[in-house]
Amino acid sequence: MSSINLIFYDTETTGIQKDFSQILQCGSVLTDKSLNTLAEQNIGCAPLPWVIPQPMAMLTNKKIDLFNSNTSHYQMMKDLQLQWKKWSAENPAIFITYNGHAFDEELIRRQFFWNLLEPYTTNTNGNGRLDLMLMIHNIAAFFSNEISIPLFEGGPGISYKLEHLAQEHGIDAGDAHDAIADCNLMIDLCRIIQSRLPEVFESFINISTKPGVKELLYSDDFLALGEIHRRHTFRYPVIICGSDASRPNEIVFYDLSYDPEDILDLDFTEINKLVQSKGRDGPLKKYKINKTIPICSHKLLTDPNAFDIEFSELQRRADIVRSNKDFQSKVSQAMEDRMMDFPESEYIEGTIYSGGFPSYRDKDLMQEFHMSDNLEHLVKISRNFEDERLRLFAERIICSQFSSNIPEDINKRYQDLINERNSEEGPWGSIEKSLIQIDKLLDEKDEEESQKILKATKLKIESMKVF
């Protein structure tokens, strides 16, 4: 992977609700593998007319100037994808976020989807993705002598917030919560990790793709899994012991703290109980290989006493688990037998994973849609989508890009959407509740900047009221 580049990115949003919040700003910084900056993109857009900016989010990101932006959400997301595709065209890239698997990545995927763009840019065509926060889980558990982890409010718990880590290592975090500034914080943190733990950094870059993580999972070494839970670190010596053939991203680790002699001969019913259990304790731990797993080879550990059991004994146990094919097949069968509950959203914004992939015909129409700026042609394309979700997304884009001559039925659906979101309470929030929250915050926060942000947000939300 010598020629691979890294793309650090961060978003600032109208809120934290993944299906209904909107990205207002996305900052991306392209670096080479040595973390030298090659290019950057900093783009923002206006809120969509049916998205209510949440007061706390606006206090955090301070992006009130974007309320008057002339750039549409559709244009921003198109520009973003175009830039990322250019940066990863010649060589695949690793997309690096901080807590991105839980948030930024999910918003990016959804908002590419809402704008008829390919949602999975970050992990297709050889690209990989790394959540730096989960790498910090592993570092906090095993390498805190090399990379100090700040205490939370004096301890005993630790903090792994990006800005606290930056401050701990003398990195200026003054502009934290600006997308580009947060990208640069990530890069500075990675430079420290790369200089002090080069092999650990290289390992995490390698496991940011499925082939890379599989190579580590199926190596002969037992692995060091490190987690942070409730501000405390946990260390587990593990080895892969099963996977779900019907959902190949789902795997199971065996925790080698448990003597295999006590577990491997359990019957299928008992193993099935262990697989189904939701707790964090127990000998079997479920993970997904399409997300960053906080693991590395035990051979990278600098502390020979990282576990309560000697490495040689843990490796002996790993070899026993690896050679027991009957146990592995029982674990894999139990994984396949699980009932997976994916509740389908009644709103199209939340159907990216539940509504199926576009047909080849719809994919061609999506491409054609982006190449046209002719209203009649765009309407014609929208009416020809086989997938109703894509038709409705196309109509929203058309109505937000054009102000007149829109067919009556399309315009009515668009106005109904705005009326519903801006006059009724739902999972997207509520104008009335947001205004009450702003008035409360105006009383509590007397700093000049906070007052300015809250007043601008209040004006924006009041302008959205439906009369």
pLDDT tens-digit readout, 310-354: 999 999 999 999 999 999 999 999 999 987 766 788 999 999 998
8 Å CB contact between 378 and 406: no
Which residues, 6+ apart, have CB-to-CB distance to 267 below 8 Å?
A: none
What is the predicted pLDDT for the residue at 1?
Answer: 45
What is the predicted pLDDT for the residue at 455?
Answer: 98
Question: Which residue from 399, 407, 452 is spatially nearest to 49, judged by alpha carbons?
Answer: 399
What is the predicted pLDDT for the residue at 80?
Answer: 98
8 Å CB contact between 322 and 239: yes
C-alpha of 152 from chain center: 24
Distances (CA, A) of 200 to 37, 143, 145, 207, 293: 21, 10, 14, 11, 13
What is the predicted pLDDT for the residue at 220?
Answer: 92
Integer Cα distance of 391 and 381 in angstroms: 8
Is the pTM for the entire model greater than 0.75? yes
Strand spans (E) along 244-345: 250-255, 284-288, 295-297
Integer Cα distance of 348 and 255 in angstroms: 40
First vs last Cα of the chain: how many Å apart? 58
41-69 burial, b if ≥16 CB within 10 A, otherwise e?
A: bebbbbbbebbbbbbebbbebbbbebbeb
Per the DSSP assignment, residues forming a β-bridge with 227 are 234
Spell out the alpha helix ranges (H) of 119-209: 132-142, 162-168, 179-196, 198-206
Question: Which residue from 138, 141, 142 is spatially nearest to 303, judged by alpha carbons?
Answer: 142
Chain length of the chain: 467
| Residue with tokens 């996977």, as numbered in its chain | 243
User: 82-107: per-residue pLDDT in tens?
Assistant: 999 999 999 999 999 999 999 999 99
Q: Pick out the chain residues at pLDDT < 70.
A: 1-2, 341-342
Question: Which residue from 26, 173, 199 is spatially nearest to 100, judged by alpha carbons?
Answer: 26
Distances (CA, A) of 341 to 234, 288, 328, 344, 357: 28, 16, 24, 9, 19
C-alpha of 307 from chain center: 30
Integer Cα distance of 377 and 106 in angstroms: 31
User: 140-164: per-residue pLDDT in tens?
Assistant: 999 999 999 999 999 899 999 999 9
What is the predicted pLDDT for the residue at 11?
Answer: 97
Question: Which residue from 415, 376, 410 is spatially nearest to 395, judged by alpha carbons?
Answer: 410
- Compute how many other C-beta atoms are within 10 angstroms of the C-beta atom of residue 227: 17
Per the DSSP assignment, residues forming a β-bridge with 224 are 237, 296
Q: Is 13 helix (H, G, I), strand (E, B) or coil?
A: strand
**Checking DSSP bridges between strand 284-288 and strand 295-297, what pairing results, if any?**
unpaired
Which amino acid, 338?
A: R
